[in-house]
Amino acid sequence: MKVVLVQPPCWVTETPPYNISLLKAVCQSHGFEVVCLDLNIKFYNALLGNNNGQLYNNPPDWINSEYVRKIIENYNYVVDKYTEYILGVSCRVVGFTVNAMNKIFAEELAKRIKYKDKDKIIIFGGPECFSPVERKSLLLGNNCVDAVCSFEGEKALPLLLTCINNNREICVPGIVYRNNDKIIDGGDVSCVDDLNSLPFADYSDFQMDSYTSKALPISTSRGCINKCLFCSEFRFWRKYRYRDAENIFEEIRCQKQRSPSISHFFFNDSLINGNIRNLDKLCQLIIDSHLDISWGGQAAIREEMTPDFIAKMKAAGFSHVSYGLESASPKMLKIMGKRFAPEVAERVIRSTKKMGIRTCVNIIVGFPGEEEEDILATAKFLRRNKEFIDEMLFHPLVINRGAYLDENRELFGIKLNREHNLYDWYSTKEDNSLAKRIDTIKFYKHFIGIEGKSFFRPAEYYLCIADSYYSKEDYLNAFKYYIRAKRYNTDKFREPFIAERLQKLQEQLKNL
């Protein structure tokens, strides 16, 4: 039986998608023929050819259904082309990997496939399916989705495909499916405890020249050793698991043999240094083999990240890192659940940069309980260390599905203005709104003396605030911020949306 696995936009453009590449290898080991389609990179290159590749720099836009449908409408020929491609593969099953930013696009493509071939069985999996709330929404709200993989797919997907191939009734742990008008839950599925048992990802369906960097992703672990209140990683993955250094090294060597032009690997993990001893062993294996590679990824700030250990990582090809600093206020670090002191962070960041490793830090803006002195402490830390930081990323706090903050909103006084938009929330216990968080980012940039980066650019700042006021029927403030969004906007797909809102608001304001 043949299966197509699809990565819809919006996703990263630097590397092929790891998740469907791994699932391809897993399903093929069970005797199924699998074709992977990275529609994300196909769509990106189509937009790039029309001078619209910058759309991929605005992730918050992709959770806006009006915005995404406008993009699809303008590039309908691309969507139609790959809908026909999928239908032409003569597969029985089409699987989509779904996250918050590509869910709307995935749903639209699934509808088109079902419309043209109602016998196609469509399966959704991925992070957006881990939450029971989102799972239910996907199945109840879409007749085009037949089944949802509720957790890791390496066990559940081959069993599901076997049932489909043998025309047996579906009763698979980890699969929730539709049977006429009933939603049937196959029950829980256990974790893949031994990650070493999984085959190496198969990237044979992808053209490396299509991507914006010569790199391959590799996953060395799942989950996180930390339990930060804003993060859902440790909850979704249930427990921290890691591959042995020897197994990771063998995959790196194998992928190098398969793709000799590849010299860089991106470690696609929540943190690359969850097990320091295992990481040390991997570094030694790379050094001893004289393997000419570079690699990097996300890392936690830890006491064990000593200058000597960082030097060893550098000798093994470690070239870039993104640290989850989040704050430099001792109070806020404790509240968030971080397990390091600002002094340790300063030492680790400086040691990393001194070794010639590209160093990025992430800052969370607007965590409940954050006061002016906490913001100032973080701003002073960043200004003091800015020569040791290549990139600062400022993130207005997102209420991630499944995170402690999400499950305890009432405790923190968190209210969402729009249930589908996890950026747009306010607090009933303090002055904490999206507008306030965006003002804080501006303060950081001004105080530190940098341009800095965040998910939002000026047009997105003002559009989010305007949407928030609009949803609360505060039309005067909404009008003011839509005007600002229009002034800064450079995205032609956003123009009609802003113009339409302004016209409606002018009519509503006349009647006030």
Give, as one character, the DSSP assignment of residue 226.
Answer: -
Of residues 315 and 45, more confidently modeled: 315
Copy the structure tokens of residue 446.
């001004």
- What is the SS3 assignment for 225? coil
- pLDDT, residue 74, reads 83
Give, as one character, the DSSP assignment of residue 512.
Answer: -
Is residue 154's pLDDT more than 60? yes
- pLDDT, residue 215, reads 92
Residue 72: band (very low, low, confident or very high) from pLDDT cuts 50, 70, 90: confident
Q: What is the mean pLDDT of residues 151-159?
A: 90
- pLDDT, residue 462, reads 80
Partners of 469 in the β-ladder:
none
Of residues 170 and 117, more confidently modeled: 117
pLDDT tens digit sequence for 159-190: 999 999 988 888 888 888 888 778 888 888 88
Of residues 104 and 313, more confidently modeled: 313
Give, as one character, the DSSP assignment of residue 366.
Answer: -
Query: For residue 10, is the peptide bond before it cis, meaning its omega torsion is within 30 degrees of 0?
Result: yes
- pLDDT, residue 54, reads 65
Q: What is the mean pLDDT of residues 13-36?
A: 95
Is residue 406's pLDDT more than 60? yes
Q: What is the mean pLDDT of residues 221-248?
A: 90
Q: Is 283 exposed, middle or buried (0-12, 13-18, 19+ CB in 10 A)?
A: buried
- pLDDT, residue 452, reads 59
- Residue 351 host element (H or E): helix 342-354
Mean pLDDT of the chain: 89
Q: Is 200 exposed, middle or buried (0-12, 13-18, 19+ CB in 10 A)?
A: middle
Is residue 342's pLDDT more than 60? yes
Q: What is the mean pLDDT of residues 84-112?
A: 91
pLDDT tens digit sequence for 455-512: 566 677 787 778 778 877 888 888 888 888 888 887 776 787 788 888 888 887 777 6
Q: What is the mean pLDDT of residues 213-226?
A: 93
Q: What is the mean pLDDT of residues 433-461?
A: 80
Residue 300: band (very low, low, confident or very high) from pLDDT cuts 50, 70, 90: very high
Residue 453: band (very low, low, confident or very high) from pLDDT cuts 50, 70, 90: low
Cβ atoms within 10 Å of 261's Cβ, excluding its own: 8
- pLDDT, residue 50, reads 63
| % of the chain beyond a pLDDT of 90 | 56
Q: Which of 340, 363, 355, 337 is nearest to 296 (CA)?
A: 355
- Residue 283 host element (H or E): helix 276-289
Q: What size, in residues, is the chain?
A: 512
Range among 130-134, 257-261, 481-485, 489-493 with highest mean pLDDT value: 257-261
- pLDDT, residue 509, reads 77
Cβ atoms within 10 Å of 132's Cβ, excluding its own: 13
CA distance linking residue 11 with residue 399, whole number of Å:
20
Q: Which of 46-60, 272-286, 311-325, 417-431 has the lowest mean pLDDT?
A: 46-60
- pLDDT, residue 440, reads 92
Range among 7-16, 88-97, 312-321, 411-420 with highest mean pLDDT value: 312-321
Is residue 280's pLDDT more than 80? yes
Q: Which value, to the nearest 10 degrees, does the dihedral of the CA atoms of residues 408, 413, 419, 423 take? A: -100
- pLDDT, residue 482, reads 87
